[in-house]
Structure 1
Amino acid sequence: MTAIVPERMPALYLSHGAPPLADDPLWPGQLAAWSATLPRPRAILMVSAHWEEAPLALGATATAPLTYDFRGFPAHYYEVRYEAPGAPRLAESVRKLLRGAGMPVQDVPDRGLDHGAYVPLVEMYPEADIPVLQISMPTLDPRKLMEIGRKLAPLRDEGVLIVGSGFFTHNLAALRHGGGGVPGWSAEFDAWGREALRARDIDALLDFENKSPAGRLAHPRTEHFAPLFVTLGASGDGDEDRRDVIDGFWMGLAKRSLQFG
């Protein structure tokens, strides 16, 4: 009997929005249309802006309650459920790949998916029937995150969809004081990032705080841009064919989302 070889999966970076994304008239449909174009994953590996922990941690490997890591929203956002299967086999593969490279790994078995993971997954895979594993970012250093992505890249040949989940621009404090529309700093950084990715200028991206216009204003803290570097590492340092699947702005923030491979 011939073994079924899983299809190689792309690597994604997506802007995940916030819980109210579900009520947006456009964005949920964009995410759903995107997932419909992808091969069906055997499992999904999520790296979210909302989990920083060192050493690198593996979240729940069985279905666990979601982590509602936000405050001040209406009650119904805390009632969302996403009971995806756990991914213990994927967790074991991640341990082997990273520990084999000398990277320490820990387990946090009671941590469910946070909103950087489940908010987009609810729209992309609403049946919640694909195993999901979330891992932490042990650092915000772009070079170290790219190295983690490189080590995880072989999982793509096993049918694993690797997703870095952040926000292409993210400065809520500046938004609160900047009035309506798209702030100049958000538009400028988005345009710069689009061109740097198109040119495969990895050196510029790695030093985005200094080499981009308004970099420190677009990302006063860099956790929402950081997952991009895991995705870049998993995609051969961005050498694979890249597609800008979603662009535009949501509440003044760039929702640029990318596919490699």
Structure 2
Amino acid sequence: MNAVAERMPALYLSHGAPPLADDPVWPGELAAWSATLPRPTAILVVSAHWEEAPLALGATRTVPLVYDFWGFPEHYYDVRYAAPGAPELAASVRKLLRVPGMPVQDVPDRGLDHGAYVPLVEMFPDADVPVLQVSLPTLEPQRLLEVGRRLAPLRDEGVLIVGSGFFTHNLAALRHPGGGVPGWSAEFDDWGARALLAQDIDALLDFEEKSPVGRLAHPRTEHFAPLFVTLGASEGELGSARSVIDGFWLGLAKRSVQFG
């Protein structure tokens, strides 16, 4: 990959489900966001929907998408996103991550899942930027922070690092009388926004205990976990954090943050 003069930012975004494409507001917010970014040489995505250890590198050529959802109307399975593979980026990731205690494997037929392609369809609709997806090798926040730290040099090579999750994610607890935004989702969103503003990484790492509703907002860590990769890749620039997208979608906080 050729280096670019401008250091790329790192993103954490709430990715939505396939029906995001039909939302009257959110796709436009994602498109407007991408229009403000420098053009990346490649995109590295860590999605909540791929947990595999050791850390795995997905396809480095264009392969079919992973439609990892069930019961949706047929047209959501007709979506295509034939972005180029990123073999040079994969080689760089292997070099950065292959250290004692951090093995790396290849899963060459693994395509982009909806945590990757759903937002990328809106942000880079021409599918002309090479994309590499890597797995979450653990849900342990401190270890993911270290993964992000090791990936950080890629930003100077023009690589856009994207942690793709959801700022609150408890589908079972959404089934409450009255609809609207549940109190736990609004409370965690506010707590998380304030922790980011204060650069309180320790609180975010220990969100299950430090937030009164942390365990309710995230009964499993997988949708918050990509944030820690982004935080690691943004070390030294945490004061630059800004929420580009906020608000709620079907009761879940869609807060999305840019560093750098």
Structure 2 length-normalised TM:
0.97
What's the counterpart of residue 59 of structure 1?
A: 58
TM-aligned CA deviation for residue 111 of structure 1: 0.4
- The amino acid that maps onto 1:217 is L
- The amino acid that maps onto 1:228 is L
Secondary structure of 2:231's aligned partner: helix
1:87–1:156 Cα change, 3 Å = same
String of CA shifts for 1:168-205, please: whole Å, max 9, x gaps: 00000111234410000000000000000000011111
- The amino acid that maps onto 1:235 is S
Asked if 1:150 is matched to 2:149, the reply is yes
Q: Bigger CA drift: 96-105 or 122-131? A: 96-105
Alignment of 1:29-108 (within 5 A): 29-100=28-99, 102-108=101-107
Contact 1:183 1:252 in 2 (8 A): yes
Structure 1 length-normalised TM:
0.97
Q: For 1:99 and 1:240, how far apart are their aligned partners in 2?
A: 30
What's the counterpart of residue 114 of structure 1?
A: 113
Q: For 1:183 and 1:36, how far apart are their aligned partners in 2?
A: 32
What's the counterpart of residue 187 of structure 1?
A: 186
Q: For 1:4 and 1:146, how far apart are their aligned partners in 2?
A: 24
1:212–1:87 Cα change, 3 Å = same
1:4–1:227 Cα change, 3 Å = closer
Aligned length: 259
Q: Supply the RMSD in Å over aligned alpha carbons.
A: 1.2
What's the counterpart of residue 234 of structure 2?
A: 235
Q: For 1:218 and 1:4, how far apart are their aligned partners in 2?
A: 39
TM-aligned CA deviation for residue 101 of structure 1: 5.9
Q: For 1:184 and 1:236, how far apart are their aligned partners in 2?
A: 31
Q: For 2:186 and 2:4, how far apart are their aligned partners in 1?
A: 42
What's the counterpart of residue 223 of structure 2?
A: 224
1:140–1:238 Cα change, 3 Å = farther
Q: For 1:188 and 1:176, how far apart are their aligned partners in 2?
A: 17
Contact 2:167 2:223 in 1 (8 A): yes
Secondary structure of 1:222's aligned partner: coil
- The amino acid that maps onto 1:161 is L
Secondary structure of 1:34's aligned partner: helix
- The amino acid that maps onto 1:51 is W
Segments of 5+ residues of structure 2 without an aligned counterpart are: none
- The amino acid that maps onto 2:175 is R
Q: For 2:117 and 2:71, how far apart are their aligned partners in 1?
A: 18
Contact 2:148 2:231 in 1 (8 A): yes
Contact 2:197 2:239 in 1 (8 A): no
What's the counterpart of residue 24 of structure 1?
A: 23
TM-aligned CA deviation for residue 103 of structure 1: 1.5
Q: Bigger CA drift: 136-145 or 171-180? A: 171-180
